Amino acid sequence: MFALLAGSLAQVITPDKQAERLTKGLIGIQASTSGSAQMPVCPLDFRYGRPEMKTVFDEETRLQKLLDVEAALAQAQAKVGNIKQEHADIIKKTASTRYVKLDHVREIDQKINHEITAIIRALSEQCGESGKFVHVGATSNDILDTGAALQIKDAIMIIDGDLDKLKRTLAKRAKEHRDTVMLGRTHGQYALPITLVLKLANYALEVKRHQLRLKECSPRILVGKMSGAVGTGAGFGPKALEIQKLAMEQLGLGAEEGPTQIVARDRYVEMMSVLANIATSVEKFATEVRNLQRGEINEVSEFFDETVQVGSSTMAHKKNPVTAENVCGLTRIVRGFMTPAYESAILWHERDLTNSSAERFFVPHSFILLDDVLAKMDKLFATLVVNTAQIDKNLTRAGSVIMAESVLLALVSKGMGRQEAHELIRKCSMDSQRACEDFKTYLMGNKEVTSRLSEKEIDASLDPRAYLGSAGATVDNILKIVS
């Protein structure tokens, strides 16, 4: 875990709090304005997502992050001499959901229709005489964008942990199947032999690259601002830049170097692009499992608990790749949020409000769903069933024709031109497949082949386990990188 993210999450989220909030989300009935009861509508409330990531984006955590920003602002104001330290200390001590209750903030918000002002009023009430120094010089998005960065910081830390766990699982399973030779496929057709370890190691390497992308882009994403209504910092006086620097340092964030009323939204576009990229890889992995589990291939499959698990309500024999299919569906939702992310970066002048409502959806939903699917993929690969007997059967069923390239290169090594060898082997392979006969038979019946290659040399060229090239060395290099 990289240092920028370390330690912040544990201060807010406890197991007891997770359980309490999850229970509220699952069974809490809300009263509507008409007095009727409403159950949760969003599937995140009752079907998808894990408690830790959900807690990062729940209302109480969000309120605490916003209060943390107000506290940091007050401390910064005190350090530059704009307010007395005793007032800043009272604001810092009081800026907690222990004192500023979510229900009270909601009550004020319903009356005035302005969330940040509702928080300011609720906090100021609790601060007594010091309340007059809450939010001095700031604008709403100084608090909102900086608070959002604190939430995103915690969320990235969880995603990084998810990626690390999945990477290690893939590397472990790869080592277990170092000698498992299987069919490689291109265009859905038989290609050349590969090893299962190469496939899994490549996945681990891809996950490692996503970790690096997250680490590399985090300094650009995890920034806040304290520069007032249009980015000039006029409301903070001559020490505005120092106030912003001090506040962001306290919060463990970078500072927006070129603010308007908001943090620049190209940062959100970059963040969502990385999340969508991770989601795409996860769907690719899941799609491979789904394909290899198809009845006519049946080389790997999701673990299926035959003692209790049901595959179909009517077809009792079914063992469906339901986790991989679920992952494919959810990752498409994550990628689907790229459009509103791009659109939300196009704002009028120094800002308008069109981004706000959209971001309330795509930021938390993307992180919650991505965390969910990464955890599912880790479990899927950790328990993946590898049918080595079927892998061998498929390799045999494909026939020796898949070794056409090996024979071609053997002929080239004996002095035949590459193009001439290609055409010769192409004809032999097409003839053998058309007649549904063994490829070797056609090779042995061709004088141009046998004049250069003995039967022993032909047999050696047709051995799939002898034609794996540098796969072993490649895997060794990958496992060093991902370890």
User: Under a CB-based contact definition with an 8 Å cutoff, are residues 197 and 227 in contact?
Assistant: no
Q: Is 187 a known active-site residue?
A: yes
In degrees, rounded to 5, the angle at the alpha carbon of residue 433 between the alpha carbons of residues 431 and 434 is 65
**Among 34, 36, 187, 349, the one annotated catalytic:** 187
Q: What is the C-alpha to C-alpha distance for residues 476 and 483, in angstroms, rounded to an integer? A: 11
Which amino acid type is present at position 341? A
Cα R_g (the chain), whole angstroms: 30
Q: What is the C-alpha to C-alpha distance for residues 238 and 222, in angstroms, rounded to an integer? A: 26
User: Under a CB-based contact definition with an 8 Å cutoff, are residues 443 and 427 in contact?
Assistant: no
Q: Is 312 a known active-site residue?
A: yes
Question: What are the φ/ψ torsions at residue 149 (nearest 5 degrees)?
Answer: -65, -35
**In DSSP terms, which residues pair with 190 in a beta bridge?**
185
Q: What is the C-alpha to C-alpha distance for residues 155 and 102, in angstroms, rounded to an integer? A: 22
Helices (H), 177-239: 196-221
Active site residues per annotation: 187, 312
